[in-house]
Chain A
Amino acid sequence: MISFDNVTKRYPGSHEALTNVSFTINQGELVYVTGHSGAGKSTLLKLMAAIERPTTGTVLINNQNVSKLKSGTLPYVRRKFGLVFQDHKLLYDRNCYHNVALPLSINGITGQDAGKRIRAALDKVGLLDKEKAMPITLSGGEQQRLAIARAVVSRPSILIADEPTGNLDRVYAADILQLFNAFQQVGVTVIIATHDALGNSQNEHVSSKILHLNQGRLVKAEVAA
């Protein structure tokens, strides 16, 4: 589904953010990307989501080579992903409902059909009663859940989350991870970046893959039972 082959990413005027990274992620897997901050986790996720292109090496997404795609087709590749950003990127000028509506309107889905899916997504993250609330009035955990609702509303086959539990206390964090597990169980590929090496400690019953990065190199790719 996603396959990296000797991928190196170098930002202009900077050191290599990723060096010779190779791995494969299959459909329906739960993948943790771990490592200290600055290890290249976010860069890895951006390459996966076709937001960045590799400097060298190949990134295959559903057997499409991202480097070879025209920039006009990249948006369509990006729509396959549900993204949860490190800084949420919620829009504070509109209520929860309209925040979740954005990916659908990008996909050209509006009206009643959109309404049903938006409420379903809000329901899934437990925010159905906050439909009309402005994001600024939500707690940190609720904002994170709203971001997840927005990521899943267009029913992506791959869900990518960058530090989704970063600023949350343990209870909230466990909540959020539970949510991701639920998506993985219905067949969604879930990729989570976390600086917390024990981020998956609460989910030992779920089999997952761990990609551990250190200074831009993949030092460990293991499957935890």
Chain B
Amino acid sequence: MKSWLTQHTQALKLVLRRFKANLLNTLFICLAIGVTLALPSIMYTVLSSLSGLANNVKSESQISVFLSADQASGTATSIKAALEKNAVVKSFKFVSKEDALKQLETATANNNVLSSLEQNPLPDAFFIAPKNLDAASVESLKNELAKLEGIEEIVVDGAWIKRLNYLILIGQKAMVIITSLLGFALVAVIGNTIRMQILTQQAEIELSQLIGATKSFIRRPFLYLGALYGLIGGLFALLITYAVISVFNQSLNTLAREYQTDFSINLPDITSGSVVCLLSLIVGLVSAYFAVSKSLFKNIN
């Protein structure tokens, strides 16, 4: 256990010493990794903020159920009972046609038009907030409600939200593709850097093998190197993401105020930040492993 620990601290110290010796080079490599990772990370942040916005608006959205004008007297009560039993309904509000008319009167300046009407043209209505907001469950709830009697029309609010959701979906697909492409680029960049490092240390590696170094002893510092490149690159990516989003948020806030809303892109929190760092660390480690296995032990045993 102790020797295991010594071996690892030894390798880590060695790597850090080399980092210090080639500080500028190391920084540039990490920066390249950071820029590569920043793009998907920014995309992810923007998309998750947008889909948060969509969810937010949707939770205010409702299914409006308008009852037919010539309904039987008990219809409203029976629908009410059905809604209360329904598990996917979060809450609902009943607005009778009298209430609706009163609301309209207060909202409209020109009362003459309304008072000139012979009878109340408005129907009784239920406004339902569903529990699940995704398109499929809203659709199935709508179909369920359509089976009830005495209903004239069911209107699902927010067609534009649907469209926004599709746009977000397309964005997410693009993000996945870009992330995987850039992931490959990252593996190539880190792998090549490690291969260069191996070349500059060829003499030491060869000698070490001759005087009894195990493969893992030789491999270990390079694995640490890859992991550290990944980790520092991930931190750079976060910094870039923070900077870019902060810059955009200023203008977005001004724009959102014009629409009387309050919207800004959320900066990555600790969880997503650590996920970015961890992922890039793993990518670094894996690409280092491949680079080392491919080019290190070609000419021994």
Contact = CB atoms under 8 A, between A and B. Distances in A.
Interface of A: 49, 51, 71-72, 74-79, 81, 83, 85, 89, 91-93, 102-103, 105-108, 110
25 contacts: A49-B210, A75-B209, A75-B214, A75-B215, A75-B217, A76-B212, A76-B214, A77-B212, A78-B210, A78-B212, A79-B211, A89-B203, A89-B207, A91-B204, A91-B207, A92-B203, A102-B204, A102-B208, A102-B211, A103-B212, A106-B211, A106-B212, A106-B217, A108-B6, A110-B10
B207 A71 contact: no
User: Can you list the 10 inter-chain pairs with the closest CB atoms, starting with the nearest?
Assistant: A78-B212, A79-B212, A71-B301, A106-B213, A75-B212, A75-B214, A89-B207, A108-B3, A108-B6, A103-B211
A95 to B, nearest CB: 13
Nearest to B9: A110
B249 interface: no
Contacts of B203: 89, 91-92
B49 interface: no
A103 B211 CA distance: 7
B7 interface: yes
A80 to B, nearest CB: 8
B214 A89 contact: no
A92 B215 CA distance: 23
Contacts, number: 53
A107 B213 CA distance: 8
A83 B301 contact: no
Interface of B: 3, 6-7, 10, 203-204, 206-215, 217, 301
Nearest to A92: B203
B103 to A, nearest CB: 81
Main secondary structure of the interface of B (DSSP, over half): helix
Nearest to B14: A105
Nearest to B300: A71
B211 A108 contact: no
A110 B7 CA distance: 10
Contacts of B213: 75, 106
Contacts of B206: 89
B114 to A, nearest CB: 91
A76 B209 CA distance: 11
A89 B206 CA distance: 9
Nearest to A105: B10
Given A91-B203, A91-B207, A110 B6 contact: yes
A75 B206 CA distance: 13
A89 B208 CA distance: 10
A93 B209 CA distance: 18
B229 to A, nearest CB: 21
B184 to A, nearest CB: 32
A157 B208 CA distance: 19
Given A108-B3, A108-B6, A108-B10, A72 B214 contact: yes
Given A74-B301, A108-B7, A110-B6, A83 B211 contact: yes
B17 to A, nearest CB: 10
A137 B3 CA distance: 35
Contacts of B6: 108, 110
Nearest to B4: A108
Contacts of A83: 210-211
A110 B212 CA distance: 16
Residue picked from B7, B210, B211, most chain A C-beta under 10 Å: B211
Contacts of B208: 102, 106
Contacts of A79: 211-212
Nearest to B214: A75
Contacts of B211: 78-79, 81, 83, 102-103, 106
B82 to A, nearest CB: 72
A91 B214 CA distance: 19
Contacts of A74: 301
Contacts of A93: 204
A150 to B, nearest CB: 8
A79 B206 CA distance: 15
Contacts of A75: 209, 212-215, 217
Contacts of B7: 108
A106 B207 CA distance: 11
A213 to B, nearest CB: 21
B51 to A, nearest CB: 51
B163 to A, nearest CB: 61
